[in-house]
Amino acid sequence: MANVNIRVDDAIKKQAETIFSELGMSMSTATNIFYRQVVRTGGVPFELKLESRPKERLDLSKMTQEEIDAELQKGLDDLEAGRVIPAEEVHAEMKRRYGL
More confident residue, 50 or 35: 35
Domain ranges for the chain, please list them: 1-47, 60-98
Contacts of 34 (CB under 8 A, 6+ apart): 45
Q: What is the dotted CATH code of the domain comprising 1-47? A: 1.10.1220
Contacts of 27 (CB under 8 A, 6+ apart): 13, 16, 17, 20
How many Å apart are CA 47 and CA 50, to the nearest integer? 10
- pLDDT at residue number 6: 92
**What does the pLDDT look like over 38-89, one tens digit per residue?**
999 999 998 887 776 666 777 888 889 998 999 899 989 988 888 888 888 8
How many Å apart are CA 56 and CA 77, to the nearest integer? 20
Question: By three-state DSSP, how is residue 45 classified?
Answer: coil
Whether the model clears a pTM of 0.75, i.e. scores above it, the answer is: no
Whether the per-residue pLDDT at 95 is higher than 70: the answer is yes
- pLDDT at residue number 34: 94
- pLDDT at residue number 55: 67
Angle between helix 27-41 and 10-22 (nearest 10): 90
